[in-house]
Amino acid sequence: MPDFLLRLDDTSLTVTAAGVDIARYAFDPGGPVAEGPKPFFHPVRALDGAPLTAYRPWDHRWHKGLQFTWTHVSGQNFWGGNTYRPEHGDYVLLDNVGRIRHDGFTSVRDAGSEASFSEDLTWITQAGVEWLSEVRTHRFHSLDEDRGIWALDFATTLRNVSDQDLEFGSPTTQGRPNAGYTGYAIRMPRAWTGARVLAAGLADDAGADAVMGRVAEWVAFSGEHDEVDGGGTVLAFAGTSTGGPAIRWFVRSEPFPIVAPSPSFDEHIVLAPGEELALRHRHVFGARIWTPGQTRALAEEFAL
């Protein structure tokens, strides 16, 4: 029997491992325009069934599990919600929230020790103009029931299909300090608020504030669950970008837990018409709270 099984229906794809539905990918989710409709994973679960993602939390309804998106693309907001405007010195709700359309799967495979699916997507402005085409692949691997581990690789290529240069940024590139959120972001359960944060190159007690905006190979969250006994760990790798700027981490454990390897934290990426941007990341999900030593050992084992 394969380690991972994929189950496809009309609007979602579910991944099962060791008898647990570990991830549901909503590729045609709908939802309010202001939330920037796009594909996302929720719930993502550890092998013990405990949830590792949050969905539409009251503070940011557009935070939906694990999703790939961008806050600033030449004035368009594909993240959802309000947009930071320096002239206001704050976030404002504008008619600029785009959407990401799933156009179809090009492959869906579950065999042996891995499973994967690839898809074509299109990024569309609120005015209905197609700006970006995307080819995206998710690969599930490294199932280890004894250690309570599974891993997910993400790879994407964005191509500018508009007739203009596209500038990729973040609220920080627009003037908001330490708000470089964009890219492959995971919003974790509210129970993990204040969770322990570790990062490559920092002491065990450095915490989330020390990681914000930092270049580091990996970041790990470990937290206790509500409802389910015990806790879990999410280990995220910065991976690679062809965009030019170094990948920097957007990370908070207060007032809510979220982490994203940001390709344009505080520097713009500009794509001319026809140019491409490729990104690659990895997440490892654990069904227990790893010690700092275990976390660092696993980070070395799973390094990209």
Per-residue pLDDT, 88: 86
pLDDT(2) > 90? no
Q: Which position has the token pair 């003037």?
A: 175
For 44, the token pair is 């993502």
List, for residues 254-300, the tens digit of each pLDDT value: 999 999 999 999 999 999 999 999 999 999 999 999 999 999 999 99
Q: Say if residues 224 and 289 touch (Cβ distance below 8 Å).
A: yes
Domain 4-301 in CATH 2.70.98: yes
Per-residue pLDDT, 188: 98
User: Does this model's pTM top 0.95?
Assistant: yes
| Contacts for 187 with CB less than 8 Å, ≥ 6 apart | 53, 54, 57, 60, 63, 64, 65, 66, 256, 257, 258
- Which stretches within the chain are classed as H helix? 208-211, 292-301
Per-residue pLDDT, 65: 98
Map out the domains of the chain as residue ranges. 4-301
Per-residue pLDDT, 35: 98
Amino acid at 164: Q
* Least-confidence region, from 86-90, 105-109, 276-280: 86-90
